[in-house]
Amino acid sequence: MPTDPVVSVLRRYPVKAMGGESLSSVELDRRGLRGDRWYAVVDGGGRFATAKDSRRFRRRDEVFAYAATTGTDGTVEVHRDGRSWRVGDADLDAELSACFGDPVRVLPEQGTPHYDAAAVSLVGTATLAWCARELGVDADPRRLRVNLLVETDEPFVEESWPGRTLEVGSVRLRVEERIERCRTVDLAQDGVATTTRWLKALGDSRNLCVGIYARIDQPGELAVGDLVQAR
């Protein structure tokens, strides 16, 4: 008998494209998870460091070698190879500029959204298990950089939720669309040390899509273990 979906993992990414942090609970405001992708590595042209090129983004794979965490006082630190820097310190900008070979700064969101699309991303465990089994890929959820990993029984059940409302804890989410993946899923990142060929497998079988985006209808708090109810 199918069981109700529950939140099994919560992840937040304080600096866009860097490794993130696991949480037991989190507040959501109208923008999204508090502190999620609030900072980005920005170059002189105003483009954000990611794994792809576009009007807003510039491909800088070096950014994935770093991780970011949030302290109890709300300060964000960036880490690499046992070294740490606090966001806002000139030493961090100097470190990243030297690594990228181009002047960059870590800046808060200022008008142009740091999110690729909607504020909250989600995928089901049964979907990842299907991808591992049927596509033969490393389906570590950290590759997808989702905020919510939801324990599910049916592969791709979350893809039936666009247009519906999810009630999770005291939060209401409006599901918008499936997520079309880019080359980020194949990179070593966020504690996953190896590369993969997941993007090609998704292109051949899933139109590059896995996971869903949602926006915030009602802010509040959600936690690991919360029931996910689709209305």
Do the domain assignments include residue 211?
A: yes
Q: Please, which pLDDT band fits residue 4 given cuts at 50, 70 and 90?
A: confident
Q: DSSP 3-state assignment of 78? A: strand
Q: Which range marks the domain in which residue 170 is found?
A: 6-11+116-230
Angle at 230 between CA 224 and CA 231, to 5 degrees: 140
User: Has residue 1 got a pLDDT over 70?
Assistant: no
Count of domains for the chain? 1
**Residue 126 and residue 160: Cα distance in Å, rounded?**
14
Mean pLDDT (whole number) for 185-210:
92
User: Has residue 59 got a pLDDT over 80?
Assistant: yes
Q: What is the CATH number of the domain that holds 170?
A: 2.40.33.20
Do the domain assignments include residue 46?
A: no
Question: Token match 């606090």: residue?
Answer: 86
The predicted pLDDT at position 194 comes to 86
Q: What is the DSSP letter of 195?
A: -
User: Has residue 200 got a pLDDT over 70?
Assistant: yes
The predicted pLDDT at position 111 comes to 86
The predicted pLDDT at position 6 comes to 97
Do the domain assignments include residue 92?
A: no
Question: Token match 């170059």: residue?
Answer: 43
Specify whether the CB–CB gap between 64 and 189 falls below 8 A: yes
pLDDT digits (tens, 9 = 90+) for 25-43: 999 999 999 999 999 999 9
Name the residue among 144, 146, 140, 143 with its Cα closest to residue 121. Answer: 146
Backbone angles phi, psi at 81, to 5 degrees: 50, 45
Tally Cβ neighbours within 10 Å of residue 174: 18
Mean pLDDT (whole number) for 59-74:
95
pLDDT digits (tens, 9 = 90+) for 69-92: 999 999 999 999 999 999 999 999
The predicted pLDDT at position 195 comes to 84
Mean pLDDT (whole number) for 105-112:
94
Do the domain assignments include residue 72?
A: no
Do the domain assignments include residue 215?
A: yes
Average pLDDT, rounded, for the chain: 95
Do the domain assignments include residue 65?
A: no
Do the domain assignments include residue 216?
A: yes
User: Has residue 2 got a pLDDT over 90?
Assistant: no
Do the domain assignments include residue 37?
A: no
Q: Please, which pLDDT band fits residue 56 given cuts at 50, 70 and 90?
A: very high
DSSP E strands in 25-81: the ranges are 25-28, 39-43, 48-50, 57-59, 67-70, 76-80
Which structure tokens are listed for 165? 């409302």
Q: Torsion angle of alpha carbons 13, 14, 16, 17, nearest 10°?
A: -50
Helix axes 198-205, 125-135, angle to 10 degrees: 90
Lowest-pLDDT choice from 21-25, 27-31, 149-153, 194-198: 194-198
Q: Torsion angle of alpha carbons 176, 178, 184, 186, nearest 10°?
A: 160
